[in-house]
């Protein structure tokens, strides 16, 4: 029989690959579309709330997008989009919402506390931890640079 190394080489050689072109195109289209929707939301609020600053607009837009992602997940549509779009629906902030909402829904059967609340961040946890930690590091570096100057 083939040796382990030979077998792993064979696997590498003949394993079915993803259809590169198709997945990339779908990710591009869906990702672009989601961002365009975000721009639309932002522009609408710019009209509705004249004089709103960049920060407020950003906050409103991301909240609305997160709401949309959460709602689509609730209706069971987001994972269907994801099946085709791949990174196109993972990378936008709606994908972050999906990664928070989907475990919350999934673990509902284990109860409110130990199911929903405990498991809500099983997928998105790393995003919060790495994001917050790295931002603190950035802040500290900025502070250090200021002190040294």
d(CA 34, CA 78): 12
Per CB under 8 A, contacts with another protein among 81-120 are: 81-93, 95-109, 116-117, 120
DSSP string, 26-76: HHHHHHHHHHHHHHHHHHHHHHHSTT--HHHHHHHHHHHHHHHHHHHHHTT
Which of positions 130-149 make contact with another protein (CB under 8 A)? 130-132, 134-136, 138-143, 146
CB 56 to another protein: min, Å: 9
Residue with tokens 């579309």: 33
* 16 makes contact with another protein (CB under 8 A): yes
How far is the C-alpha of 34 from the C-alpha of 129, rounded, in Å?
25
Per-residue mark of binding to another protein, 21-60 (x: CB under 8 A): --xx-xxxxxxxxxxx-xxx-x------------x--xxx
Query: Could you tell me the smallest distance in angstroms from the CB atom of residue 14 to another protein?
Result: 7
State in angstroms the smallest separation of the CB of 144 from another protein: 9
Instruction: Please check whether residue 93 is in contact with residue 66, taking contact to mean a CB–CB distance below 8 angstroms.
Output: yes
Half-sphere exposure of 116 (CA within 13 A, CB side): 7
Residue 67 or 114: the one with the smaller Cβ distance to another protein is: 67
Q: Which of residues 56-85 bind another protein (CB under 8 A)?
A: 58-63, 65-67, 70-71, 73-76, 78-85
For the chain, how many residues are written?
A: 149
Q: How far is the CB of 49 from another protein (least distance, A)?
A: 14
């Amino acid at each position: 029989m083939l040796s382990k190394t030979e077998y792993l080489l064979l696997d590498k050689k003949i394993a079915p690959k993803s259809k590169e072109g198709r997945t990339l195109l779908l990710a591009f289209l869906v990702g672009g579309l989601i961002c365009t929707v975000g721009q639309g939301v932002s522009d609408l609020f710019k009209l509705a709330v004249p004089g709103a600053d960049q920060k407020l607009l950003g906050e409103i837009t991301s909240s609305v997008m997160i709401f949309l992602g959460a709602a689509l997940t609730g209706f069971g549509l987001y994972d269907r989009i994801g099946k085709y779009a791949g990174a196109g629906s993972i990378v936008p902030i709606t994908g972050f919402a999906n990664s928070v909402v989907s475990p919350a829904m999934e673990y509902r059967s284990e109860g409110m506390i130990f199911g929903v609340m405990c498991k809500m961040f099983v997928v998105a946890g790393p995003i919060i931890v790495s994001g917050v930690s790295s931002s603190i590091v950035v802040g500290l570096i900025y502070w250090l640079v200021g002190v040294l100057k």
